[in-house]
């Protein structure tokens, strides 16, 4: 392939033209007016200049790439292209009109690709006489930096069309994944629980915006918190994508938007672009963002009142305690602190009268656990998914009967282990386990429904939205059974069908296998 066409010279079309030209192709770039084309070319030039300044590109290669980009305001010019990518505004009527015209102008063998992020590839293809040669080619913003391309097959896209599009994406230095034409494709669907559950946690008053973002970053290793991300993307865009996926799935509860999204949009608190969203921004810099970790580099001293600690269930945690200077005991009754990595571990043990009891509480609420223990005021929940050892921050959940002195002591105890804490309400699934379990559940649904293969789903989430781990591989590491238990707990506790576990996840647990196998 030597010559491609790009329709639309905006943020995405310009980026696509740039990567194709850098890969050595002649690019015919179309837009409705000369002004839009000049602006588009200006953005491409600045982007290439930045690569040159950073030493990533030679000036000669930049100039050669720019010379390969040819501007046109005549769609008929696309007749000379061997492959066309459309990146016009996100309107079904407009895209169907553009595809109808492209179908008339371009020779029969030419593949027509759309960069739509939320519309049906099948419906766009139906505006042409060649639905077998229409495909989704979903790039991510900014195109020159983001490696991922979702190659989306509509109901009538031929395997050959998908294969050629995959090859072309590779030739442009991208990592393509194959997806079926379903609402949100892979990334915009599987990522929904990240803001979705964050909004629910906030709406249920379990934790604040800053707490949720800190837990997402310092406990679950997401590069950005869900609220920081919503501010970056824009609340209007976030809300529109959410609604679109919800409606296209005929009101599936897993995708139900939250009233807080609508309220933020009504208040024009759209995020970075309006200078205020969940956080405030000055000169595009966040003013009041979530704090980093405090205790990871400078742990607090060991608790003087604690002699022996008993850990029920996790060797890694025992080592962490010893490294911090605590003495471990197997005698539960003698321990000043008992750490139960599973609530069941507390069954039939005799706790000391004044022991501080720390219980992993992602599968039962603290209040439920404490109701079975003689001194519920001494019980505090903590998040153990991911494991405490892997975290810089631990969420501490306060049950209905937990005493203030108890959760304060629990916070000091974790600080002495080099862990920051966030003291939160007794919501089901806590924060990190709920975010991860719901993402894994959505990925399992996408896998079960054949939207994409397991490896492609994980790759898409890592490259498209920078997740620290693919959600399926992550669930396998945590253990599918534990993920299932978090979801069952959320489902039972809330009665909300959005938490019903994916049948495929259940089967994996019953079979004792993994999601990725």
**Min dist. Cβ of residue 9 to ligand NAD (A):** 5
**Interface residues for ligand NAD in 468-507 (CB under 6 A)?**
none
SS3 305: coil
**Min dist. Cβ of residue 97 to ligand NAD (A):** 7
Strand partners, 30: 7, 72
**Min dist. Cβ of residue 435 to ligand NAD (A):** 23
Is-contact 101 131, C-beta < 8 A? no
Query: How many residues touch ligand NAD (CB under 6 A)?
Result: 22
Is-contact 118 108, C-beta < 8 A? no
**Min dist. Cβ of residue 159 to ligand NAD (A):** 24
Q: Regarding beta strands 327-328 and 337-340, do their DSSP bridges make them parallel or antiparallel, or are they unpaired?
A: unpaired
**Interface residues for ligand NAD in 365-384 (CB under 6 A)?**
none
150 is catalytic: yes
With contacts defined by CB under 6 A, name the span among 28-36, 168-176, 288-296, 452-460 that binds ligand NAD.
28-36
Is there binding between residue 113 and ligand NAD (CB under 6 A)? no
Q: Which of 86, 105, 117, 395 is catalytic?
A: 117
**Min dist. Cβ of residue 3 to ligand NAD (A):** 18
Closest CA to 457 of 190, 76, 91, 153: 190
Helices 432-448 and 503-511, axial angle in degrees (round to 10): 100
The alpha carbon dihedral of 362, 222, 180, 509 has a sign of negative
Of 51 and 139, nearer to ligand NAD (C-beta) is: 139
**Min dist. Cβ of residue 75 to ligand NAD (A):** 7
Question: Binder to ligand NAD among 6, 19, 27, 36 (CB under 6 A)?
Answer: 36
Give ∠ CA 395-399-402 in degrees, rounded to 5.
105
Q: Regarding beta strands 26-30 and 69-72, do their DSSP bridges make them parallel or antiparallel, or are they unpaired?
A: parallel
258 is catalytic: no
Task: Write the DSSP symbol of residue 86.
Answer: E
**Tokens encoding 283:** 């000169």
**Min dist. Cβ of residue 138 to ligand NAD (A):** 6
117 is catalytic: yes
**Interface residues for ligand NAD in 41-100 (CB under 6 A)?**
87-90, 94, 98
With contacts defined by CB under 6 A, name the span among 109-117, 262-270, 416-424, 428-436 that binds ligand NAD.
109-117
Is-contact 169 150, C-beta < 8 A? no
> Counting beta carbons within 10 angstroms of the beta carbon of residue 274, is it exposed (0 to 12), middle (13 to 18) or buried (19 or more)?
middle
Question: Binder to ligand NAD among 1, 3, 10, 329 (CB under 6 A)?
Answer: 10
Of 148 and 436, nearer to ligand NAD (C-beta) is: 148
With contacts defined by CB under 6 A, name the span among 8-16, 280-288, 304-312, 340-348 that binds ligand NAD.
8-16
Name the closest residue to ligand NAD (Cβ).
10
Of 185 and 279, nearer to ligand NAD (C-beta) is: 185
**Range list of β-strands (E), 355-425:** 356-360, 379-382, 393-397, 420-424
With contacts defined by CB under 6 A, name the span among 138-146, 190-198, 284-292, 479-487 that binds ligand NAD.
138-146
Is there binding between residue 31 and ligand NAD (CB under 6 A)? yes
With contacts defined by CB under 6 A, name the span among 17-25, 113-121, 269-277, 402-410 that binds ligand NAD.
113-121
**Tokens encoding 73:** 């305001």
Q: Which of 188, 244, 441, 469 is catalytic?
A: 188
Question: Binder to ligand NAD among 141, 263, 331, 513 (CB under 6 A)?
Answer: 141
466 is catalytic: no
Is there binding between residue 427 and ligand NAD (CB under 6 A)? no
In degrees and rounded to multiples of 5, residue 297 shows phi and psi of -90, -25
Q: Regarding beta strands 134-139 and 148-153, do their DSSP bridges make them parallel or antiparallel, or are they unpaired?
A: antiparallel
Is-contact 378 357, C-beta < 8 A? yes
Q: Which of 150, 360, 368, 395 is catalytic?
A: 150
Is there binding between residue 232 and ligand NAD (CB under 6 A)? no
Of 187 and 393, nearer to ligand NAD (C-beta) is: 187
Is-contact 311 335, C-beta < 8 A? no
Is-contact 189 442, C-beta < 8 A? yes
Contacts (Cβ under 8 Å, ≥6 apart) of 401? 367, 370, 376, 377, 379
Question: Binder to ligand NAD among 7, 351, 436, 439 (CB under 6 A)?
Answer: 7
- Separation of alpha carbons 159 and 118, rounded Å: 22
Q: Name the residue with tokens 């329709």.
A: 7
Closest CA to 153 of 141, 165, 139, 170: 165
Q: Name the residue with tokens 């629990």.
A: 410
Of 13 and 352, nearer to ligand NAD (C-beta) is: 13
- Could you list the active site residues? 117, 138, 150, 188
Q: Which residues bind ligand NAD (CB under 6 A)?
A: 7-13, 31-32, 36, 87-90, 94, 98, 115-117, 139-141
């Amino acid at each position: 392939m030597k010559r491609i066409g790009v329709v639309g010279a905006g943020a995405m079309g310009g980026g696509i033209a740039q990567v194709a030209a850098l890969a050595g192709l002649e690019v015919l770039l179309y837009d409705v007016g000369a002004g839009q084309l000049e602006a588009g070319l200006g953005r491409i030039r600045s982007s290439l200049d930045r690569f040159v300044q950073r030493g990533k590109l030679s000036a000669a290669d930049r100039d050669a790439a720019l010379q390969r980009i040819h501007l046109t305001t005549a769609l008929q010019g696309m007749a000379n292209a061997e492959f066309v990518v459309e990146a016009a505004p996100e309107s079904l009527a407009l895209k169907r009109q553009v595809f109808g015209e492209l179908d008339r102008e371009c020779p029969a063998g030419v593949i027509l690709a759309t960069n739509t992020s939320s519309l049906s590839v099948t419906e766009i293809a139906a505006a042409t006489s060649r639905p077998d040669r229409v495909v989704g080619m979903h790039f991510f913003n900014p195109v020159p930096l983001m490696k991922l391309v979702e190659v989306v097959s509509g109901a009538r896209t031929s395997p050959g069309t998908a294969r050629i599009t995959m090859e072309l994406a590779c030739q442009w230095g991208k990592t393509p994944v194959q997806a079926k034409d379903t609402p949100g494709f892979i990334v915009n669907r599987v990522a929904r629980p990240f803001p979705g559950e964050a909004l629910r946690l906030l709406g249920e008053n379990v934790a604040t915006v800053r707490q949720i973002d800190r837990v997402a970053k310092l406990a679950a290793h997401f590069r950005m918190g869900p609220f920081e991300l919503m501010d970056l993307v824009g609340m209007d865009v976030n809300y529109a994508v959410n609604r679109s996926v919800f409606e296209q799935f005929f009101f599936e509860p897993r995708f139900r938007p939250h009233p807080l999204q609508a309220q933020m949009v009504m208040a024009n608190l759209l995020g970075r672009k309006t200078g205020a969203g969940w956080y405030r921004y000055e000169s595009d810099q966040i003013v009041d963002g979530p704090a980093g970790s405090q205790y990871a580099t400078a742990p607090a001293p060991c608790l003087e009142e604690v002699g022996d600690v008993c850990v029920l269930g996790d060797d890694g945690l025992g080592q962490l305690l010893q490294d911090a200077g605590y003495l471990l005991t197997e005698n539960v009754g003698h321990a000043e602190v008992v750490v139960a990595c599973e609530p069941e571990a507390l069954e039939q043990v005799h706790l000391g009268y004044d022991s501080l009891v720390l219980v992993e509480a992602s599968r039962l609420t603290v209040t439920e656990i404490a109701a079975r223990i003689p001194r519920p005021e001494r019980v505090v929940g903590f998040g153990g998914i991911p494991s405490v050892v892997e975290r810089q921050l631990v969420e501490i959940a306060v049950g209905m009967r937990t005493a203030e002195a108890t959760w304060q002591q629990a916070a000091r105890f974790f600080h002495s282990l080099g862990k920051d804490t966030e003291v939160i309400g007794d919501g089901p699934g806590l924060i990190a386990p709920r975010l991860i379990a719901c993402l894994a559940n959505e990925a399992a649904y996408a896998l079960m429904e054949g939207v994409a293969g397991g490896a492609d789903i994980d790759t898409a989430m890592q490259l498209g939205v920078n997740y620290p781990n693919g959600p399926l591989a992550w669930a396998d590491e945590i253990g599918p059974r534990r993920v299932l238990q978090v979801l069952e707990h959320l489902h039972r506790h809330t009665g909300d069908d959005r938490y019903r576990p994916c049948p495929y996840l259940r089967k994996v647990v019953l079979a004792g296998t993994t999601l990725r196998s």
